[in-house]
Structure 1
């Protein structure tokens, strides 16, 4: 259902953008109304409503409320969506709102990538089952021992891998589907903890420099080198990946056996990812434990995306 709302919102924005910049004013045969591209690319006769709704003016006649974005329009249209499709009432309202904001983030990344001439992030695409596997609760999540409460879903058991410290409150929870099950990432906050204050440059006496290596993972300025285990490219991992990828390719497309083989391959990739992330956290802990005033890092284009 979240995937359908995401695709519906994206389709609505694309349709209204075409009306504004490509087709111009025209009469919609289905609704028998005139499209008005002068208001917004999500027009007043589109699926998302009026951009100037609830606008207020001050005594001088100036607009007090700014013009609403397409995301704000689609968020305020969610109650109408629930009336038209009552089964969306089974989803928490904050989850639906975050789903629309997720599309806003995709648009923002696309236009920022165009301004920076970075081709790594393309135009938002319609989602299918395989690439839409997460959702976020903005409020209402609770944790008690080995049980977690998710609004509209209720209490359920889970493996509490990290106990929430005393004094912290749960701000949000993101549920993600992985190859070996479902995971909950919980964001917590304690306002009594003071913010970290950065040292001014004139008080920095010792600096530790970190350089990304080729054969080694990191070269430090104190001549210390950190090994790179190469979890995915060592002999044993490459052989296992080759066997499991071959098993997937030999199965009939769309069959249950192919899905089982793909699941085993995904679990092995997940295992490699877990090892790599755990090792990186250990190395980060090792670096920050050095008694220095500052740590200097290179600003590298590690992903290798094209930049003009």
Structure 2
């Protein structure tokens, strides 16, 4: 009888231990599952946060490396369009530069307009009339990043002007100057604005020109400096950023007018003999053509 009681007690104890072990396993399994789920959720949130800040960190890193801070941009050239820019053919000193969109690490978008002069100083026009249409009258100020590169990859100081061609007669007006004079400040951020009382007019091809008037590389016989223009921002008179409606527009140079303008017809014209033979009187009192030899 005592043996039976003893066996019953032993079996009861064994069952209790078994149930406790099972409970511990289930609890351990639940804890592991909960921990894994929490860890996965935390990882997902971390990855999402990281992905969401990558672009901002990249832009901040670029700005820190150049010392340039750009908060808002009207033209970042990420779409590859720059057809609204061209050499200013109306300016006699303009060089026939090659203009294209290229990769440029300092830019916030990684893109910039490359300007490669052919033989002299570049005069690059920005057709703001086509970019903004009727709103061109609101454009008052421009900011842009400009960098330089010489053929021998050495640094040479450069400088120039920011010019506006305003009004019905497209009067040349200075908006300011630019310069890249230190290697550690290459590229540089430039801001230029219209003088008080001056404004662009619509439907008359008003535009802005970034020109060069000093290139130490050229002066030193090291070739012609190339330029990069990036992160262009336009502002109205109140400082609000203006964004072009369409960056696919093409540079629309104005009509130059009738090539015969300023000339007049001659009344009572006279045919001259070949070699000016037999011409006499006044300034024509000579026989044949005299040439001056050096």
Return the TM-score normalized by structure 2. Answer: 0.20
Compare the two structures and name the one with the higher strand fraction: 2
Find the structure with the greater CA-based Rg.
Answer: 2
Return the TM-score normalized by structure 1. Answer: 0.20
Compare the two structures and name the one with the higher helix fraction: 1
